Chains A and B, each alone.
Chain A
Amino acid sequence: MSSRNELKSRPYSVPDGYFDSFRAEMSRVPLPAHTAQWRKAAPYMAIAASLALLVTAGTLALNRFSAEEDISQEDYILFSDNLISTSIYEDHMQEQIAEVGLMDEEIIEYLIFTGVSPEIIELSK
C-alpha cells in the first residue's frame, strides 16, 4: 500500500467550473451577523431545559408514587422484581417528548452539540 502511489491520487472529479461557481455562490450567500457565543447555544439550551424539566417531573412523579406506599424495603425489592425496568419512567418520558414535539433531527443536533458520541448510544441499545 505504501509503494502504490496511484492509490494516493484523487479518484474524484468535480463538475466543470465548479470551484468558480462555488466562489460566486458564496459571495451571494447572506452572511449572518456576528453574534455572541451564548446566542448560538440558545436553541440547544432550550432543548436541554426541556429534557431537564421532563426528568425532574418524572422523578417527582415517581417519588410521590413511592412515598404514598408505605412499604418495607423487603416488599419494595419484591415489588421491583415484578416491574419491567424503568417502564413507568420511560413511558412518561415518551409521552412528554411527544407532547413537547421534539423531532429526531432536533434531538440529533442537541446530541451533537453536547458532544454525545453515537458509539455511546449504540452501546446502550
Chain B
Amino acid sequence: MTDKEIMELYRSGSREKAFALLVDAYTERLYWHIRRFACSHDDANDLLQDIFIKVWTSLPTFREESQLFTWLYRIATNQVLNHLRRQRFRSLVSFESASLMLEKKIDEDPHFNGDELQRELHKAIQRLPEKQRIVFCFRYFDEMKYEDISEITDTSVGALKASYHHAYNKIKDELQKKF
C-alpha cells in the first residue's frame, strides 16, 4: 500500500488500521535510521516505540504539504535529538561525558558485528555535535539528497553542506590518526 493510500484510509475513519499499515511500512526504515544514534538495540527499541506513539498523536496535524516519508523522518529525527539532549543533560547532572557513555554502549553492544574500523567510525560519530551527527548519517550512510535533509531538519541546504563538510573532515582526521 502506498503512503497516499494509507492517508486516505486514515481520513476515511479507519485510523487504527491506517496506523497499523504505517507501522508495518516504516518499522525497519525508521529503526535503522535511529539505530546509529541510539548506540544500543534496547535504546533504539524504546525510541522507536516513542516515535510511533508520537506519530499517532501527531497524525491529526499532518497537513500533507510534505511527503509522509519526510514528515515521519522529521518526527524520528526530533525524537532522536531530544534523546541525545536528554543524555547530555543527564551527563551534566552526573558529571559523566555523554559521548563517552555512548562510546561505551557501542563497546558493550552484543548486536554490534562490525570490524574495528567501523567501531571507531561509529564512536567518532558520537563525538560530533548533534546536528553534524544527524547530517553526516543522512548523507554518508543513507546518501539522502540535501533537499530532503533540508525538509526533514528544517535547515538550509547551504548550512547542511557546511555541516557535512566539517563532520566529514573531523571523522576522516580521527580515523587517519588511528589507522
Question: What residues make up the interface of A, taking CB atoms closer than 8 Å to B?
Answer: 1, 4, 6-15, 18-19, 22-23, 25-27, 29, 31-32, 34-35, 37, 40, 104, 108-109, 111-112, 117-119, 121-122, 125
Contacts and interface: CB of A to CB of B under 8 A. Distances in A.
Nearest to A122: B92
A123 to B, nearest CB: 11
Contact of B27 (A1, A6, A19, A125): A19
Given A1-B172, A8-B140, A118-B88, A19 B31 contact: yes
A86 B90 CA distance: 25
B127 interface: no
A25 B10 CA distance: 21
B161 to A, nearest CB: 15
A40 B57 CA distance: 10
A8 B171 CA distance: 14
Contact of A13 (B88, B90, B113): B113
Chief secondary structure at chain B's binding surface: helix
Interface residues of B, number: 48
A31 B90 contact: no
B35 A26 contact: no
B168 A37 contact: no
Nearest to A22: B27
A113 B92 CA distance: 18
Contacts of A35: 57
Chief secondary structure at chain A's binding surface: helix
A29 B53 CA distance: 9
Nearest to B32: A10
Contacts of B60: 34
The 8 closest A-B pairs by CB, nearest first: A11-B114, A118-B88, A11-B118, A108-B89, A13-B111, A26-B23, A34-B60, A112-B82
Contact of A12 (B19, B27, B35, B90): B35
Contacts of A7: 117-118, 121
B90 A108 contact: yes
A125 B93 CA distance: 11
A26 B111 contact: no
Nearest to B24: A23
Contacts of A18: 41, 45
A27 B118 contact: no
Nearest to A109: B86
B45 to A, nearest CB: 7
Nearest to B61: A37
Given A12-B112, A34-B60, A117-B85, A104 B20 contact: no
Given A1-B172, A19-B28, A112 B53 contact: no
B57 A34 contact: yes
A11 B112 contact: yes
